[in-house]
Amino acid sequence: MQTLTPHVYWAQRHAEIYLRVELSDAQNLDIGIQENVLHFRAQGHGAKGDNEYEFSLEFLEPVKPEVTQKSTQRQVNITVRKQEHCWWDRLTRQERKPLFLAPDFDRWLDESDAEMELRAKEERINKVSIESRIPKDSFLGLKKGYLFMYNLVQFLGFSWIFVNMTVRLFILREDSFYDTFHTIADMMYFCQILAVAEVINPALGLVRTGVIPALIQVVGRNVILFVIFGSLEDMQNKAVVFFVFYLWSIIEIFRYPYYMLACIDTEWKMLTWLRYTIWMPLYPLGVLAEAVAVIQSLPIFDETRLYSIPLPKALGQSLSFSYILQLYLVLMFLGLFINFRHLYKQRRRRFRSKKRKAN
């Protein structure tokens, strides 16, 4: 039986060499590496029919002595691992390529393509590794369903407030300022009582956001709504009620649908931009309107002595609740600073991550 050389095709990656030997029904395979030289011998059907085929290749750089092989009916696949992860200019030590050797264009990549493939492979491995370390949450669907419904109800509530106030403004003009509370208060009560969940949700780990910023906003709004507007009839007919409610509703009709869509892994770019941008002028204006409401309520609390704190006779009859509200004014602007800083950091992180993904 005549000894012949088969057709061999090769390709490489930074860590491996791939050889494809065109030999059908290969038998008596003898493949090994000695002194950085690959020796191949087998019987099979090649370019010259059924014969014994063999070849040797001395690699350009050191390789590991282990060889991985897989024989099929049509070919023999050989994988050799490099000692160092690097890119070779050629396969063999000899500069002149053996006549039986050719590139495997089905697997051929240039160096830049191989680097991209390697990077993508590492990212997939890292992603799988991270995901495997994170325990699966069996209640994730239930949590997302709850958050979706919560944000949907709040969106519908504040949308009703916004549309109602806008229509009344166009029809009644400035007259709509003075009966806003009697028209809108019930829905605003409902939405702001429900907003207590925004403090509970991060406390329970249902959402990844700070408890303190949510607590500041919820407590601040409820003080204005229930203590200032709800308990003082003289405040309910003032124009400041309109501006407070209107500014609150404009912010929320963009915030809640953004979170609602996030629950179903959906994003609208325009909505994202509005959610992270429109609060910048509106939030300080809302706090300013709340401060005006507090200042307007001070003389009313002094006159009515509502919520006044009893004192011993030696110190006087009582301490007016207006003094507590004056302290609250200071805390209100401190809360504005804390929340504004928190929201601005959120905005910067959000758009920075989007920019990285785009690049």
Q: Which of 64, 60, 62, 63 is nearest to 96 (CA)?
A: 60
Report the C-alpha gap between 258 and 343 in whole angstroms.
15
Tokens of residue 95, six digits: 């500069």
Q: Catalytic one among 256, 290, 303, 307? A: 290
Report the C-alpha gap between 258 and 264 in whole angstroms.
10
Report the C-alpha gap between 273 and 294 in whole angstroms.
32
Report the C-alpha gap between 12 and 32 in whole angstroms.
19
53 is catalytic: no
Q: Cβ(307)–Cβ(294) under 8 Å?
A: no
Q: Sheet with 8-12: list strands edge to edge.
A: 63-71, 76-82, 16-21, 8-12, 101-103
Q: Kind and range of the H or E element at 123?
A: helix 111-133
Report the C-alpha gap between 223 and 311 in whole angstroms.
24
283 is catalytic: yes
57 Cβ contact list (under 8 Å, min separation 6)? 8, 19, 37, 38, 91, 92, 98, 101
Q: Which of 36, 4, 16 is nearest to 77 (CA)?
A: 16
DSSP 98: P
User: Which phi and psi (to 5°) does residue 136 adopt?
Assistant: -75, 135
Q: Which residues are catalytic?
A: 283, 290
